[in-house]
């Protein structure tokens, strides 16, 4: 750093530290100041033991411990006092629930209203944080009775000692919250003011490299955090004796020398008039293997063999154990995110050499945040295995084709080109939908062959064609042979034989259902309120009269979280000014793979319905194309004031993109997903209490 900047930065840090400490002491700990020197004489402390309360729905075990008789229990305490704070001295003692929050709804009666009035406040008590036993009270004066309604599973064991009012709420100075605020605002300050970040990205600038590493490390920590909090931490990842459809069933089938799955199909399923009719299966209580294929009396799998032949099958052959789906999703997601960032930076190095580094950094945050791949470590079923492996292989193939230089005048790296074809083929074998992007890569190779490297000699041309096409041919033959062995048709993937919500043999496209997908995946606005994490999903069925499947009723439109997408409205005006050759290049490199194909994929989800995990099929591709367009225009702007304002807007949009997508990921407590065995549910609750300090 230059001397003057060091001094400015030190002054900023000192001022920021003072502000953050003041906020921590007075704002974030405001509940501790509820009872103070100005009102202490007005509010009298009172502690009521549970023995002096009216109890229902609890079985007493002695020593202040109780067992839930149902899922709701009530305790009524006589208060007869003005109340400013409340404390419920209670918590779980069940071993399987020791890390969970005990929820207790508060109701009260007061002078002028003798019945219990429903409150908007509840206790969320954690055994590891005594402050969660306290809440503030903004009720009218003269509370007569307080009814605490405990909500817990039947047979849960609780510790309940008593209830107090007007106790001082303990003060807690959160070092973690202070450090986070210091780091966040320091990062924004550096981004806006550090001289090296105002310059274009160069290869030998330590501060720029450090910033890139910091961003990628942040997303790695984010992936690890979501994985650890939401995945089952009790799993022995390396010695699995059973697995799911991809990690075990396909593995067992291939090891047995056939493509059908080894589980027997129930005879009652085969005897149904239409085994693909979900209602008929439920009505006759016939148990099937969900989301499996039924063909000629055998079970098959629709999901690709890419991750099977690269990971699960070799691991089982070597160790005798099945590889964990949890760990596989984590590995695929981490590698895919890393190569996505590398591919993005490779594009910047090749085509945006004059772009300010700070804009590059904002774009990197946006594309990683908006990729939606974090859902593949939040839930780790066979769906997410297919999704994350396809994402991983696709981003690796994408990065390698950029490194191969087939789209630039630089010397062709044939090794990168060959490996790109390998990984793009594996992407298709993992998730058939990725074939659309493989077609794009083929178009790029044709463009590079005829336009960019048209002066190659015959030997180079043959080498180019063979190394690029050989992997596609090899893996294409494997896929077609696999299809033929299953369905007697090399081009049949088997979706029409799926045992799922639809009978895909009798389904017809509907424009209304297509529009539900388009609106919810791209345009639906989130709901913002005071409940953690403050930004929540929404869902709009457009009043369409038809069945549309929704896995989780929680939609975020991509363009609502990535606001710079509005720049697409300016794209036609810019395109008019391009030459025919530039229009061709623009269409091949950006518009087709970044707009048309992702839009087509979104439209194709109409028969699958809405699910969070589909994001990586189209989200990062769209964001990347939009960023490239924005950067193209930004580089041509000469007015420094305009560029400064555009950078400011981009920075605000990036913060929103990161935060809103993070809210999308952590919208649910892990207990709701992983079940009550979620070991790190308390970590989620601690983060929630750290942010939602008024809770």
> Residues 60-79: pLDDT tens digits?
999 899 999 999 999 999 99
Higher pLDDT, 681 or 559: 559
Q: Residue 676: what pLDDT? A: 44
Binned at pLDDT 50, 70 and 90, residue 41 comes out as: confident
Of 341, 8, 19, 372, the closest CA to residue 184 belongs to 19
How far from 165 is each of 23, 143, 383, 425, CA to CA, in Å? 26, 11, 50, 66
Angstrom distance (rounded) from CA 291 to CA 498: 6
**What are the residues whose beta carbons fall under 8 Å from the beta carbon of 350, sequence distance 6 or more?**
402, 407, 408
Of 504, 691, 686, 557, the closest CA to residue 131 belongs to 686
Average pLDDT for 99-112? 90
Helix (H, G, I), strand (E, B) or coil at 352: coil
Q: Is the Cα torsion angle 492, 498, 501, 504 positive or negative in sign?
A: positive
Angstrom distance (rounded) from CA 662 to CA 526: 13
DSSP class of residue 170 equals P
CB of 421 closer than 8 Å to CB of 471: yes
Query: Would the pLDDT of 506 be above 90?
Result: no
185-194 as b/e, with b when 16 or more CB fall inside 10 Å? eeeeebbeeb
Mean of the per-residue pLDDT values for the chain? 93
379-406 as b/e, with b when 16 or more CB fall inside 10 Å? bbbbbbbbbbbbbbbbbbbbbbbbbbbb
Query: Would the pLDDT of 20 be above 90?
Result: yes
Q: Which helix (H) or strand (E) holds 150?
A: strand 143-151
Q: Which helix (H) or strand (E) holds 55?
A: strand 54-56
**What are the residues whose beta carbons fall under 8 Å from the beta carbon of 96, sequence distance 6 or more?**
676, 677
CA 162 from centre of chain: 41
Could you give the count of Cα atoms lying within 13 Å of 628 in the half-sphere of its Cβ? 24
Q: Residue 234: what pLDDT? A: 62
CB of 395 closer than 8 Å to CB of 339: yes
List pLDDT tens digits, range 332-349: 999 999 999 999 999 999
Torsion angle in degrees (nearest 10) through CA of 397, 398, 399, 405: 100
CB of 613 closer than 8 Å to CB of 384: yes
List pLDDT tens digits, range 631-672: 999 999 999 999 999 999 999 999 999 999 999 999 888 887
Give pTM, 2 decimals: 0.94
Angstrom distance (rounded) from CA 130 to CA 270: 58
Instruction: Count other C-beta atoms under 10 Å from residue 525's C-beta.
Output: 13
Q: Residue 492: what pLDDT? A: 94
CB of 247 closer than 8 Å to CB of 322: yes
CB of 123 closer than 8 Å to CB of 104: yes
533-571 as b/e, with b when 16 or more CB fall inside 10 Å? bebbbeeebeeeeeebeeebebbbbbbbbbbbbeeeeeb
List pLDDT tens digits, range 117-150: 887 889 999 988 999 999 999 876 789 999 999 9
For every residue of 202-244, DSSP letters joined together read -TT-HHHHHHHHHHHHHHHHHHHHHHHHHS-TT--TT-BS---
Q: Residue 140: what pLDDT? A: 66
Angstrom distance (rounded) from CA 418 to CA 541: 45
Q: Residue 111: what pLDDT? A: 86
Angstrom distance (rounded) from CA 424 to CA 409: 23
412-422 as b/e, with b when 16 or more CB fall inside 10 Å? bebebbbbbbb
Helix (H, G, I), strand (E, B) or coil at 190: helix
Task: Give strand ranges (E) for 525-679.
Answer: 527-528, 535-536
Higher pLDDT, 175 or 3: 175
CB of 504 closer than 8 Å to CB of 494: no
CB of 610 closer than 8 Å to CB of 555: yes
Tokens read off for 663 = 């809210």
Percentage, residues of the chain above pLDDT 90: 81
Q: Residue 233: what pLDDT? A: 65
Angstrom distance (rounded) from CA 107 to CA 117: 6
Q: Residue 145: what pLDDT? A: 93
Higher pLDDT, 30 or 4: 30
List pLDDT tens digits, range 234-278: 678 889 999 999 999 999 999 999 999 999 999 999 999 999 999
List pLDDT tens digits, range 396-417: 999 999 999 999 999 999 999 9
Percentage, residues of the chain above pLDDT 70: 98
Q: Is the Cα torsion angle 303, 306, 308, 309 positive or negative in sign?
A: positive
Q: What is the CA radius of gyration of the chain?
A: 29
Average pLDDT for 88-113? 89
For every residue of 128-146, DSSP letters joined together read TBGGGGEEE--PPS-EEEE
Determine the Cα angle at 170 with ends 165 and 176, to 5°: 140
**What are the residues whose beta carbons fall under 8 Å from the beta carbon of 360, sequence distance 6 or more?**
201, 345, 348, 352
Binned at pLDDT 50, 70 and 90, residue 1 comes out as: low
Q: Residue 195: what pLDDT? A: 92
Angstrom distance (rounded) from CA 446 to CA 460: 14
Q: Which helix (H) or strand (E) holds 294?
A: strand 293-295
């Amino acid at each position: 750093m230059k001397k003057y900047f060091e001094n400015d930065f030190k002054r900023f840090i000192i001022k920021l530290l003072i502000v953050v400490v003041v906020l921590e002491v007075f704002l974030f700990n405001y509940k501790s100041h509820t009872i103070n020197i100005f009102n202490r004489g007005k509010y009298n402390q009172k502690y009521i033991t549970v023995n002096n309360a009216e109890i229902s729905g609890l079985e007493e075990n002695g020593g202040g411990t109780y067992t839930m008789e149902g899922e709701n229990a009530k305790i009524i305490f006589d208060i007869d006092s003005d109340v400013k704070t409340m404390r419920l001295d209670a918590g779980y003692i069940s071993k399987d629930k020791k890390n969970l929050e005990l929820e207790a709804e508060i109701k009260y009666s007061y002078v002028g209203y003798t019945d219990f009035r429903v409150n908007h406040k509840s206790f969320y008590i954690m055994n590891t944080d005594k402050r969660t036993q306290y809440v503030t009270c903004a009720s009218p004066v003269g509370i007569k009775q307080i009814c605490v309604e405990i909500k817990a599973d039947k047979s849960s064991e609780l510790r309940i000692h008593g209830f107090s009012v007007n106790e001082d709420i303990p003060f807690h100075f959160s070092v973690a919250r202070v450090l986070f605020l210091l780091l966040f605002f320091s990062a924004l300050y550096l981004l806006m003011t550090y001289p090296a970040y105002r310059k274009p990205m160069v290869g030998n600038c330590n501060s720029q490299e450090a910033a890139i590493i910091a961003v990628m490390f942040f997303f790695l920590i984010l992936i690890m955090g979501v994985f650890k909090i939401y995945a089952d931490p009790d799993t022995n990842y390396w010695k699995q004796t059973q697995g799911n459809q991809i990690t075990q069933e396909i593995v067992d089938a291939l090891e047995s020398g056939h493509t059908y799955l080894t589980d027997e199909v129930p005879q009652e399923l085969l005897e149904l008039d239409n085994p693909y009719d979900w209602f008929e299966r439920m009505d006759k209580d016939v148990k099937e293997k969900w989301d499996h294929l039924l063909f000629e009396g055998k079970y098959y799998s629709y999901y690709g063999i890419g991750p099977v032949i690269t990971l699960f099958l070799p691991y089982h052959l070597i160790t005798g154990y099945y590889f964990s789906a949890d760990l596989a999703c984590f590995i695929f997601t981490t590698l895919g995110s890393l190569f996505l960032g590398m591919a993005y930076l490779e594009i910047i190095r090749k085509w945006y050499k004059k772009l300010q580094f700070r804009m590059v950094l904002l774009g990197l945050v946006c594309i990683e945040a908006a990729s939606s791949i974090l859902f593949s470590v939040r839930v780790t079923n066979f769906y997410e295995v297919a999704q994350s492996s396809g994402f991983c292989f696709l981003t690796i193939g994408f990065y390698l084709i950029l490194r191969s230089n087939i789209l630039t005048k630089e010397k062709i790296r044939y090794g990168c080109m060959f490996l790109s074809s390998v990984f793009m083929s594996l992407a298709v074998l993992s998730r058939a939908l990725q074939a659309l992007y493989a077609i794009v890569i083929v178009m790029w190779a044709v463009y590079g062959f005829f336009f960019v490297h048209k002066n190659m000699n015959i030997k180079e041309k043959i080498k180019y064609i063979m190394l690029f096409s050989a992997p596609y041919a090899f893996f294409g033959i494997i896929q077609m042979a696999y299809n033929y062995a299953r369905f007697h048709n090399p081009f049949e993937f088997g979706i029409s034989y799926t045992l799922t919500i639809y009978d895909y043999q009798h389904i017809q496209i509907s424009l209304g259902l297509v529009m539900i997908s388009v609106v919810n995946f791209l345009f639906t606005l989130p709901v913002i309120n005071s409940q953690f994490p403050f930004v929540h999903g929404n869902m709009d069925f457009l009043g369409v009269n038809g069945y549309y499947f929704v896995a989780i009723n929680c939609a975020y439109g991509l363009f609502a979280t990535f606001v710079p997408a509005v720049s697409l409205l300016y794209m036609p005006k810019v395109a008019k000014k391009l030459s025919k050759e530039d229009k061709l290049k623009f269409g091949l490199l950006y518009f087709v793979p970044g707009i048309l194909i992702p839009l087509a994929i979104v439209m194709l989800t109409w028969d699958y319905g809405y699910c969070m995990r589909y994001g990586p099929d189209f989200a990062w591709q769209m964001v990347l194309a939009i960023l490239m367009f924005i950067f193209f225009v930004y580089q041509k702007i000469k007015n420094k004031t305009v560029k400064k304002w555009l950078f400011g807007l981009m920075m605000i949009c990036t913060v929103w993109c990161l935060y809103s997508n993070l809210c999308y990921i952590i919208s649910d407590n892990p207990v709701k997903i992983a079940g009550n065995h979620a070991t790190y549910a308390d970590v989620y609750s601690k983060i929630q209490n750290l942010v939602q300090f008024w809770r």
